[in-house]
Chain A
């Protein structure tokens, strides 16, 4: 208990760190305070807790610090969702392993009471679930596993059954903690549930899934805190758990879908029969050349850029900023409209544009900019699809009906950068693309944008 004071200080530091994130001007300092809190907690543990061997701890700390630093310094910003998925994966694994170790130790000592057993059970189940679930999410993001939702008959029934089986195991274990077979079965069940629960979830639902896994990782940490009687773990876990939960609520809301729908809906698996005859051939698209688009752009006084996952894939954020600057140099106003679920994780687009030196006061949320489209000359859609689909407002049969989308269709002119005219995710037709005032410029977004920049500069010369 003598490490209590460092733990209290650390808890306060963590809360201050989160508070700092309420504004970009204080955020860095807050993060530093959080890191200091962590250092205090670790040093306090090493000094006061009953630690007898420092050799392996030292080696582990060094290996972990080296890997962690390498993963943070050299990873490209476009890979941030993968990076975050991996860190949930490590967090889950660490919690689960501590749980197994503690169970083994306490069982051997005969100090395993029912309360600790309950906490350990939850810790190991959630930890292993987060571990495999995050690995699956990482695989899907990286393209190792198909990003498409994988579904099979009776999938939901299987997942729900496994979940309840875990609950039953937990109760049995609390009643008699010495049944170690059940304990390990529960861990195995956690591993399986993690895989099976993420399997049916499609790429565009990743923001919700990543947030949810964030929440589970936090809950696993909190359960560790209960098992060890360590309050800083409970507090940090509660903060992490709440944060992930809040984010996943916000993401679900931004897609107009309930939690249950995301988890069990397997979005992309629904056959797309509802597009209302819009499934016409590519001939309906108004394909435009770079010259046409440059003409429209240079004539515009106001431009709103709508980035989507395609911008991340093509790493086009720097080209976007350059084009915006050359338009601003001609006297145009450029703003960016960021949808909460654009990209593969919450805030994905903001980070990429910040990396490209786009000032953050030019980035606008859905509610802050949506009324402006009707008054705007040109909307430039860079690799976004669902978030600009007017069917979400007009077609009750569309799978995304009810989702809040940008009013891009109300702009005077729309330029859409897209790799091909093939239907995107889930095969949902996008009525925006066949509107008469929409110009489709096909090809790699970065390459197209570079051609735009050259065109705009030529115009100026």
Chain B
């Protein structure tokens, strides 16, 4: 039992360190997409919601799991989409296209 905890902590701490080094390299330019992207990634809790909603754990678990599936899916689908929409906008200087006024 304490082995399971220890192993989980190993993974948690090492992932945290890795995250630190990777995220340190993200320029301030992309901090908003970073936030949207990590949001999408942490929508992985969808996996837990799926088991809760479809695992025949009883009515309460199913209802809670169902709501959780909706919330987590909003974050994963929405998160990756909006991150892509933002990243698409970042362009280098090169005869900027004149778009119609907003």
Structural contact, B78 and A87, CB atoms closer than 8 A: yes
Structural contact, A346 and B55, CB atoms closer than 8 A: no
CB 8 Å contact bits of A63-90 with B (1 = contact, 0 = none): 1110111011101010010011001101
B50 to chain A, nearest CB (A): 5
CB 8 Å contact bits of A47-66 with B (1 = contact, 0 = none): 00111111011011101110
Residues in A whose Cβ lies below 8 Å from that of B54: 51-54, 56-57
Q: Does A46 contact B (CB under 8 A)?
A: yes
Q: Does A372 contact B (CB under 8 A)?
A: no
Q: Report how far A157 CA is from B22 CA in the complex, Å.
A: 37
Residues in A whose Cβ lies below 8 Å from that of B16: 238-239, 241-242
Interface of A is mostly: helix
Q: Report how far A15 CA is from B76 CA in the complex, Å.
A: 16
Give how many A-B residue pairs fall within 8 Å (CB-CB).
Answer: 386
Interface centre among A54, A61, A218, A226, by most chain B C-beta atoms within 10 angstroms, is A61
Residues in A whose Cβ lies below 8 Å from that of B51: 45, 49-51, 228
Q: Report how far A224 CA is from B68 CA in the complex, Å.
A: 12
Instruction: Given A217-B42, A239-B41, decide whether A350 and B32 contact each other with a Cβ distance below 8 A.
Output: yes
B29-86 CB contacts (< 8 Å) to partner A? 29-58, 60-62, 64-86
Structural contact, A56 and B31, CB atoms closer than 8 A: no
Residues in A whose Cβ lies below 8 Å from that of B27: 22-23, 365
Structural contact, A115 and B69, CB atoms closer than 8 A: no
Q: Report how far A148 CA is from B81 CA in the complex, Å.
A: 32
B3 to chain A, nearest CB (A): 10
Closest to B95 in A: A359
Structural contact, A18 and B86, CB atoms closer than 8 A: no
Structural contact, A56 and B62, CB atoms closer than 8 A: yes
Residues in B whose Cβ lies below 8 Å from that of A115: 1-2, 4-5
Instruction: Given A21-B30, A31-B83, A230-B47, decide whether A113 and B60 contact each other with a Cβ distance below 8 A.
Output: no
Q: Does A246 contact B (CB under 8 A)?
A: yes
Q: Report how far A100 CA is from B82 CA in the complex, Å.
A: 30
Residues in B whose Cβ lies below 8 Å from that of A38: 40-41, 43-44, 46, 76, 80
- Which of A102-110, A265-273, A285-293, A409-417 participates in binding chain B? A102-110
User: How large, as a class, is the contact surface on chain B?
Assistant: 35 or more
Q: Report how far A354 CA is from B32 CA in the complex, Å.
A: 12
Q: Report how far A340 CA is from B55 CA in the complex, Å.
A: 45
Q: Report how far A35 CA is from B37 CA in the complex, Å.
A: 10
Structural contact, B52 and A345, CB atoms closer than 8 A: no
Q: Does A19 contact B (CB under 8 A)?
A: yes
Closest to A235 in B: B15
A338 to chain B, nearest CB (A): 7
Interface of B is mostly: helix
Partner of A68, one of B38, B45, B77: B77
Partner of A359, one of B22, B50, B92: B92
Structural contact, A64 and B70, CB atoms closer than 8 A: yes
Structural contact, B20 and A359, CB atoms closer than 8 A: no
Q: Does A188 contact B (CB under 8 A)?
A: no
Residues in A whose Cβ lies below 8 Å from that of B42: 91, 217-218, 221, 236-237, 239-240
Instruction: Given A27-B90, A347-B33, decide whether A53 and B56 contact each other with a Cβ distance below 8 A.
Output: yes
Partner of B36, one of A87, A232, A363: A87
Structural contact, B56 and A83, CB atoms closer than 8 A: no
Residues in A whose Cβ lies below 8 Å from that of B101: 318, 322
Closest to B51 in A: A49
Residues in B whose Cβ lies below 8 Å from that of A51: 50-51, 54-55
Residues in A whose Cβ lies below 8 Å from that of B44: 10, 14, 38, 41, 221, 232-233, 236-237
Residues in B whose Cβ lies below 8 Å from that of A9: none
Instruction: Given A21-B26, A239-B15, decide whether A211 and B35 contact each other with a Cβ distance below 8 A.
Output: yes
Q: Does A423 contact B (CB under 8 A)?
A: no
Structural contact, A101 and B60, CB atoms closer than 8 A: yes
Residues in B whose Cβ lies below 8 Å from that of A7: 47
- Give 27 CB contacts A-B under 8 Å: A17-B41, A18-B38, A21-B30, A22-B27, A27-B33, A28-B84, A34-B40, A49-B51, A52-B55, A53-B53, A53-B62, A60-B53, A73-B81, A91-B43, A91-B75, A95-B68, A98-B49, A101-B61, A115-B4, A221-B45, A236-B44, A238-B19, A239-B15, A243-B19, A347-B32, A350-B28, A360-B29
Chain A interfacial positions (CB closer than 8 Å to B): 7, 10, 14-15, 17-19, 21-24, 27-28, 31-32, 34-35, 38, 41-42, 45-46, 49-54, 56-57, 59-61, 63-65, 67-69, 71-73, 75, 77, 80, 83-84, 87-88, 90-91, 93-95, 97-98, 100-102, 104-105, 108, 113, 115, 210-211, 214, 217-218, 220-222, 224-226, 228-244, 246-247, 250, 315, 317-318, 321-322, 325, 338, 340, 345-348, 350-351, 354-363, 365
Which 4 A/B pairs are nearest by Cβ-Cβ distance? A64-B73, A68-B78, A347-B31, A60-B69
Chain B interfacial positions (CB closer than 8 Å to A): 1-2, 4-5, 8, 11-13, 15-16, 18-20, 22-58, 60-62, 64-94, 96-99, 101-102
Q: Beyond A217-B42, A238-B13: 15 further Cβ-contacts under 8 Å?
A: A18-B22, A21-B30, A49-B55, A60-B69, A64-B71, A65-B73, A84-B39, A91-B43, A93-B71, A94-B69, A104-B57, A115-B1, A346-B35, A356-B102, A365-B28
